[in-house]
Amino acid sequence: MPINAQILDNPKSDRVRRIADLVRDKGRERSGRFLIEGPQAVREAVTWRPDVVQDLYVEVSQALEHPRIISSTLEKIVDKSQDSTIYVHYCSGDVIRHISKDAQGILAVGNARAMQCDTEDLKLGRKPHIAAFWQVRDPGNAGTVIRAADAAGCDAVVFVDDCVDPLNPKVIRSTVGSLFHLPVLHMGTDEFFGWAKDHDMDVWAADVYGTEDRRPESLPQVLADPASADEAKAVLFGNEARGLEPEILGKCDRIVSIPLYGKAESLNLGTSAAVMLMSLAMSGHIETM
């Protein structure tokens, strides 16, 4: 409801400096807030997680007597935000661009604590499908895998052990809004395996090599049995460079690899996650169509 009529037009003001600081890990830690950039991500945040969004910063043109939001796309997002208690601030283009080169006229500031999802908060259905990522470090990859998990209809994403901060603006940009579509949890390695056990989920490792005494099953073999593809499970993917350590593989119930039919030596983490999660989801849905 509240729209601040005063236009923020000083890129050097304290407020603008504090928002721009959210691009950095330290800025987010210090303030407990995070930055959402661009129409698509802001729209998805306002639509699906209005409880998280505190402030909206939108570019206005001052060419006419009254300030005017620069496009109808952005106007619709601002309208939608007015269903909730989100503060809207009109800004000059200079201010918006000073905060972020990826804003395309709109930014939001969210409450980091409200985005946090703990295992106690998470309500899982009868047959949960979880996508888990161990030590994912690259922000672009982290965003891509969250988007893939969303597309595959996973119930949640778990970042296991030491991963990139999912509230890093680069991660959020790469999720194209999916960060606001499903819960993203963070757990230690032991905590993750304990949690999966408590919820009767098998943990499947997505891994090409397996261990000395356990060769991976090939994904098409797994898909040939739709009932198995559809069972409650958490699929665990490894670090982009090092994969999964043997100790981690040893704790997994199954090891499944994506076959390569040509001469390519590998798929990257984002593509592997999309292929495995989507093909399991499709296999699980074949019977019900």
Give the interface with its own copies as residue ranges (CB under 8 A): 48, 144, 147-154, 176-178, 181-182, 218-221, 223-224, 258-267, 270-271, 274-275, 278-279, 281-283, 285-286, 289
Q: Report the C-alpha gap between 187 and 171 in whole angstroms.
A: 18
Cβ atoms of 130 and 235 closer than 8 Å: yes
Residue 285 is encoded by which pair of tokens? 């849905």
Cβ pair 134, 236 in contact under 8 A: yes
What's the CA angle centered on 181, arms 60 and 24, to 5 degrees? Answer: 60
Whole-number minimum distance, CB 32 to its own copies, in Å? 26
Q: How far is the CB of 144 from its own copies (least distance, A)?
A: 7
Distances in whole angstroms, Cα of residue 223 to Cα of each of 59, 238, 258, 273, 279: 49, 21, 11, 15, 8
The tokens describing 21, both together, are 């600081």
- Rounded to a whole number of angstroms, the minimum distance from the CB of residue 10 to its own copies is 36
Q: Which is nearer to its own copies, 227 or 289 (CB)?
A: 289
Question: Which CB, 6 or 288, lies closer to its own copies?
Answer: 288
Q: In the bound complex, what is the minimum distance in angstroms from residue 285's beta carbon to its own copies?
A: 5
Q: Give the position of tokens 């259905």.
A: 125
Nearer to its own copies, 96 or 182 (CB): 182
Specify the residue, 63 or 264, whose C-beta has the smaller distance to its own copies. Answer: 264
Beta carbon of residue 281, minimum distance to its own copies (angstroms, whole number): 5
* Max intra-chain CA distance, the chain: 75
Please say which residue, 89 or 181, places its beta carbon nearer to its own copies: 181
